[in-house]
Amino acid sequence: MLDRAMAAISGTGHRVVNGVWRFGFACRFFLAVLLHSGISFRRFSLTIKEIYFSGVLSLIIILVSGLFVGLVLGLQGYETLQKYGSESALGTLVALSLVRELGPVMSALLFASRAGSAITAEIGLMKATEQISAMEMMAVDPIARVVAPRFWAGVISMPLLAAMFSAIGVFGGYLVGVVMIGVDEGQFWSQMQSAVDFRLDVMNGVIKSCVFGVAVTAIALFEGYDAPPTAEGVSHATTRTVVTSSLAVLALDFLLTAFMFRGI
């Protein structure tokens, strides 16, 4: 009985110590990525290649999801608003919810599962097949050559994807609200424009998605780099990337929203 309690306590202790250790390593890894970022900009073609893989190839899923989210927002928003006779505020509802929350958050979650998991799997496999080791032996720093360009590609792609998600979502809301249901087009746009502030709403959304881009890409890269170099290790790391980065996005979203939209 006592033995089992002791084992549980020491097990927990081990896990906590391990967690802190890993977190410390993650911080050092992140710092190293930032310090070795020079090459990502001096040889921008490296970063461009990664923008293609994480940004361009995520485009379809982002655009399709954005359109559907906009369509649903249009339908649900109309159902609720018409009870209070304020269908004309549909544009405001759709635009604000997309620009402030759904655009950055949904696209970050989709990005985590589409591009983040791919990054983890790729880096993990490069490690498992000794490509990272080979690069080190060829006197090329894998952090600078492999990790940093992927990081900056993610940071650049994320706000662009989020903006496209929001824009096509608003278009989806317009399709349902104005074209299908018949809300007055002038009111739809004008109410939206008077309620959505460029600096406070649009720019804050962009800032949010930049932060999410940093978080998701950094987590994906770290999980890949830290993965045990086996098939099992890589598949676990891929799962962890999606889980950790989704939770990180939601938690960061709460924090950022609390800072940005609490008025003062």
Region near other proteins per CB under 8 A, out of 17-25, 75-83, 195-203, 213-221: 195-203
Residue of 69, 81, 99, 112 that binds other proteins (CB under 8 A): 99
**What is the C-alpha separation between 66 and 161, in angstroms, rounded?**
10
**What is the C-alpha separation between 56 and 167, in angstroms, rounded?**
17
Q: Residue 112 CA to chain centroid, in angstroms?
A: 5
CB of 148 to other proteins, least distance (A): 14
Residue that is written with structure tokens 């073609």 in the block:
45
Residue of 26, 32, 67, 125 that binds other proteins (CB under 8 A): 125
State the greatest distance between any 2 C-alpha atoms of the chain, in Å, as a whole number. 74
CB of 134 to other proteins, least distance (A): 4
Q: Which of residues 202-261 bind other proteins (CB under 8 A)?
A: 202, 205-206
User: Terminus-to-terminus CA distance in the chain, angstroms?
Assistant: 55
CB of 242 to other proteins, least distance (A): 22
Residue of 78, 116, 155, 201 that binds other proteins (CB under 8 A): 201
CA-based radius of gyration for the chain:
22
Residue that is written with structure tokens 């996005």 in the block:
249
Confirm if 158 and 109 have CB atoms less than 8 A apart: no
Site string for other proteins, 48-87 (x = CB under 8 A): xx-xx--xx--x------------------------x-x-
DSSP code string of 180-248:
II---HHHHHHHHHHH--IIIIIIHHHHHHHHHHHHHHHHHHHHHHHS-SSHHHHHHHHHHHHHHHHHH
121 near other proteins (CB under 8 A): no
Question: Cβ closer to other proteins: 14 or 247?
Answer: 14
Tell me whether residue 39 is exposed, middle or buried, using C-beta atoms within 10 angstroms of its C-beta: 0 to 12, 13 to 18, 19 or more: middle
Question: Cβ closer to other proteins: 208 or 244?
Answer: 208
130 near other proteins (CB under 8 A): yes
Question: Cβ closer to other proteins: 2 or 137?
Answer: 137
163 near other proteins (CB under 8 A): yes
Residue of 29, 145, 184, 207 that binds other proteins (CB under 8 A): 145
- Side chain identity at 119, as an amino acid letter? I
- Side chain identity at 6, as an amino acid letter? M
**Kind and range of the H or E run holding 51:** helix 44-54
CB of 198 to other proteins, least distance (A): 4
| Rama region for 233: left / alpha / beta (φ>0; ψ in -120 to 50; rest) | alpha
Residue of 73, 121, 126, 178 that binds other proteins (CB under 8 A): 126
Question: Cβ closer to other proteins: 231 or 243?
Answer: 231
25 near other proteins (CB under 8 A): no
Residues that bind other proteins (CB under 8 A): 45, 48-49, 51-52, 55-56, 59, 84, 86, 95, 99, 125-126, 129-131, 133-141, 145, 156-157, 159-161, 163-164, 166-168, 170, 189, 192-194, 196-202, 205-206, 263-264
